[in-house]
Amino acid sequence: MNAIASAPTAPTGRDVKDARHDRWFRLALAGTVVLVLVALAGAALSMLWGGRDVLASSGLEFFTTTEWNPVEDKYGALVPIYGTIVTALIAMLIAVPVSFGIAFFLTEIAPRWARGPIGTAIELLAGIPSIIYGMWGLFVLVPVMTEHVTPWLNEHLGTLPVVGAVFQGPPLGIGMLTAGIVLSIMVIPFISSVMREVFLTVPTRLKESAYALGATRWEVSWDIVLPYTRSAVIGGVFLGLGRALGETMAVAFVVGNSVRFSPSLLEPGTTIAALIANDFGEATETYRSALLLLGFVLFLVTFAVLAIARLMLRQLARKEGN
């Protein structure tokens, strides 16, 4: 009887059908992953192949020189690379503390009846087209920069011995500082939404225990909330940085679109995305090759930023595990 009871039963038709569907579902999911990777690699390689002529003629000097002269077919990508990184860093310096303040206000300070409407209003900013931000920056922010911000920076910070050159410039209103401010407004909804969601995952008992011991709101946010959600917060910040690096139209309106190198944040500059958007439609064959190679550089910069974010999150997870 025991031998008969322990004998394996033959699979039924339902079992065979479920196993077949499971196998098809697994293959379909694997196919979607492969499709995305192939599309990503294809986009990168197509831009590299399109820029092969300039890469063959200029070599590594394309990445290290500042001269950008399509008339003489001389291309150096250092100015747009510099502008892309600087404007994105300015955006992060403004957006990260503001996003943290918004998220902490919505989760800890704001009354419950106001949290939903305020959070929804901030998230709706992410749906506004970038060209609207660019027009707002051009017609509203640029006059403010021209009349108030630029003269103040020239007078108070432009005279400093080391960093003075960064804050000296004509009162044009357009430049990398203006572009960075516009970018910060664009990425604040993304970063603040991520921070808000992860702040809500902090156990209420943990925060109440800190308050019971006499901790202030600042101490709770800095010593309890941030350490508990550190990995997710860093991931959200780098996602916002990736958005800032690739933004095009909003930056093209206010950055000045100048390929002349200047250390000043108040003078016109350019970014990779803005330069491609402005010149690609009228570019000749060689110039188009240079712009395609610039697109490949932007792909590498964005990929490197996201890869660094993944490495940081992995190290943080490993330390937390230890």
State the number of CA atoms in the 13 A half-sphere of 83 facing the CB: 34
Counted domains in the chain: 1
In a domain, 182, yes or no: yes
CA 249/CA 237 separation, integer angstroms: 22
* Structure confidence at residue 43 as a pLDDT band (50, 70, 90): confident
Please provide the distance, in angstroms rounded to a whole number, between the alpha carbons at the two ends of the chain.
52
Q: How many CB atoms lie within 10 A of CB 205?
A: 9
| Beta bridge mates, 269 | 256
In a domain, 2, yes or no: no
**Most confident range, picked from 7-21, 143-157, 307-321:** 143-157
In a domain, 65, yes or no: yes
* Structure confidence at residue 113 as a pLDDT band (50, 70, 90): confident
pLDDT digits (tens, 9 = 90+) for 169-200: 888 888 899 999 999 999 998 888 888 888 88
Q: Residue 245: give the domain boundaries.
A: 53-321
Better-scored residue on pLDDT, 17 or 289: 289
Where do runs of H (alpha helix) occur along 125-162?
A: 130-136, 142-144, 150-156
SS3 assignment, position 201? coil
Average pLDDT, integer, range 262-287: 86
In a domain, 252, yes or no: yes
State the pTM of this model. Answer: 0.85
CA 215/CA 207 separation, integer angstroms: 9
In a domain, 26, yes or no: no
pLDDT digits (tens, 9 = 90+) for 115-136: 888 888 888 887 888 889 999 9
Q: Are 186 and 130 in contact (CB under 8 A)?
A: yes
CA 9/CA 128 separation, integer angstroms: 60
Amino acid at 138: L
SS3 assignment, position 11? coil
In a domain, 73, yes or no: yes
Is the per-residue pLDDT at 321 higher than 60? no
Q: What is the CATH number of the domain that holds 200?
A: 1.10.3720.10
Q: How many CB atoms lie within 10 A of CB 182?
A: 26
Q: Are 166 and 175 in contact (CB under 8 A)?
A: no
Q: Return the closest-CA partner of residue 54 out of 317, 314, 292.
A: 292
In a domain, 235, yes or no: yes
Please give the C-alpha separations between residue 95 and each of 184, 192, 197, 230, in angstroms, as whole numbers: 5, 9, 17, 17
Distance of CA 273 to the CA centre of its chain: 13
Q: Are 62 and 55 in contact (CB under 8 A)?
A: yes
pLDDT digits (tens, 9 = 90+) for 290-302: 889 998 988 888 8
In a domain, 139, yes or no: yes
Q: Among 4-8, 132-136, 156-160, 247-251, whose mean pLDDT is lowest?
A: 4-8
pLDDT digits (tens, 9 = 90+) for 218-272: 888 888 888 888 878 888 888 888 888 888 888 989 998 888 888 888 889 899 9
